[in-house]
Chains A and B, each alone.
Chain A
Amino acid sequence: MSVFIRRLFSPLLGVLLSALSAVSHAEPLKIGYSDWPGWVAWEVGIEKGWFEEAGVDVQFEWFDYVASMDAFAAGKLDAVAMTNGDTLVTGATGGKGVMFLINDYSNGNDMVIAKPGIGSVKELKGKKIGVEIGFVSHLLLLEALKQNGMSEADVELVNVPTNETPQVLASGQVDAIVAWQPNSGAALNLVPGSKAVFTSADQPGLIYDVLAVTPESLANRRGEWLKVMKVWYRIVDYMKDPKTFDDAVKIMASRVGVPAEEYKTFISGTKILTLDEAKALMGKAEGYGSLYGSSKISDDFNVANKVYDKPQDIDAYIDLSLMKEM
């Protein structure tokens, strides 16, 4: 019985103890991450014990994506894995984050999927499209329409949470949906004959996935973040090496709870960036080939869709100086 009681009380004790220890020495770097291949990759470093080897005290916390941004905005995390567009949204609404590490860009995982019989974006004219309005899939849709000489006015948008897009496409009440993995893959499986008419591979750099850190943590604990970055590129090397790729996939697949073979398909739609590839995106330029340019496009989109009111100062959201030190 006493063991039972002690175990019931242990979470409270834990909170008390951690509160006490916070006074005595520095807390670990708290990093929130969620279910996206470019972020699940962190798991390799955690599992292998590379952070301990690098001598940096980190604590990765697994969240639902939206919950992770909420926790960051509430000041409960030092850093969080987000897209560049969502970093601006989170920043504009209260939780300022600085993008200092680029993990990957979506390279096909985000898709516009049309029901059977529709083979191209042009055929979507006048049709109903299920999309989570104001979020990154909406941005992808606008780009797809633009590249095909259309605009939002040419289609009818139906606001659908991304998680539910597979069922919504299967219901037949919309003609297309926009979703990212694993929802996009689920939709393709669920509706045989459906087709991805536009994907993020058609416009690389539309969505960058980054690690965003609070400005004060980056300023005060710069050395530790550099170590975190070094571990990241160790992970990237491990994933890029054909000899160790399978082991990396195994660890990642177990994090999200799917068989390794199935998980490989999700990784292929994500372009994990090597240091050299990432450095090529660091210049201040317009367009998708630069983190600055891509973020500017996101900013315009967010303002146009009233996600927030005032354009953000992009430069204040990006600090790639640590990457330059690598």
Chain B
Amino acid sequence: MQWFAARKQLSSRPRLILAIMSFVLPILTWSLVSYVPWLWHPKVEITEPGDVSYFKDGLLVDKDVFVNEAARVSEAGGAMPEGRPANPIYLPAPHEVVTAFYTAFTTEPKRRNEKWLHESLWSSIQVIFWGFLISSVFGVPLGILAGTYDFFSRLTEPFVEFFRYLPAPAFGALAVAILGIYQAPKIAIIFIGTFFQQVLIIANTTRKLDPSLLEAAQTLGAKNHALLFRVVVPGILPDLYKDMRILLGWAWTYLIVAELIGTSSGITWFITQQARYKNFDNVFAAIMMIGIIGLTIDMLLARLGRNLFPWQRAGARA
């Protein structure tokens, strides 16, 4: 079997193996760095403080600090400190993250107004859903119009092009002033972060529609209305669907900044709070949750796409 053939699809078994490898390789790298003591490990975790006044059991110090202190103690003839190689607190080991992942979901709320983690996640998903939905309700039609008619393109795109560079989080204070402190301003940030990109991307996709389709339809007597709804929209639908999948991922990246606005809520509350107290196993677990949710939704949408547009081979590929 040939593994390297330009623009040729491999058969399904090797493709699956490679897809699994794409996850195994980074996890393997992470595991090696975490578990093989001579790889990286720039710190020393103290197991026995010896005669160094400020060493404590479990403390992380730089390797050279440890070596210097040990040398000093050895010169003075005191009790030697002991320790084992360790990574910085910012990089927890895989098993720590897995444990944190599990306990985060199983930890019962201790106070009456506290939430389960899955409730926080649900709140974040709602923010994304509404932000993306509202953005699409306006962005998709506008994008298609701009891609079809130069009139709409000139009327909207120069401004949209300008606005998409403005940082969405900077509108946070204004969003709070207008929309309050709960979910609405957060949804607004997702909207601002998604909408302007959406218009441009969809306009471009629309413009890429094969012009011969339009010409053929016009030859057959199609007018403006029919051209738009019978040719352009069906013609771009599979690509539009792909664009929307990419844009949804885009919306997710705005979640953290959006949820910092107004009351602390959702998965962001969990991440920022745990990071503040340097519990990075929890932080990584939460980051993984976002990744898993995102990937799952995308895979579901890809599957749905295969059923919706069976004639589009390229569009059907996950």
Contacts and interface: CB of A to CB of B under 8 A. Distances in A.
B49 to A, nearest CB: 11
Interface stretch (A124-132, A186-194, A317-325): A186-194
B114 A254 contact: yes
A254 B263 contact: no
A203 interface: no
Nearest to B56: A192
Contact of B110 (A46, A183, A190, A254): A254
Contacts of A192: 54-55, 59-61, 65
B272 interface: yes
B217 interface: no
B111 A74 contact: no
Report whether over half of chain A's contact residues are helix, strand or loop; otherwise say mixed.
Answer: helix
A262 B279 CA distance: 12
A44 to B, nearest CB: 10
Interface residues of B, number: 39
Contact of A64 (B61, B183, B264): B264
Most buried by B among A11, A64, A256: A64
Interface in A39-78: 43, 46-47, 61-64, 67, 70-71, 73-77
A23 interface: no
A63 B274 contact: no
A149 interface: no
B231 to A, nearest CB: 33
B126 A74 contact: no
A186 B278 contact: yes
Contacts of A43: 111
B111 A67 contact: no
Most buried by B among A15, A35, A76: A76
Contacts of B272: 64
Nearest to B277: A258
B262 A251 contact: no
Nearest to A253: B110
Contact of A71 (B59, B111, B181, B184): B181
A242 interface: no
Nearest to A46: B113
Interface in B66-112: 89, 110-112
Interface in A101-141: 116
Interface of A: 7-8, 11-12, 15, 32, 35, 43, 46-47, 61-64, 67, 70-71, 73-77, 116, 163, 166, 182-183, 186, 189-190, 192-193, 250-251, 254-258, 262
Interface of B: 54-55, 59-61, 65, 89, 110-114, 122, 126, 129-130, 172-173, 176-177, 180-184, 260-264, 269-270, 272-274, 276-279
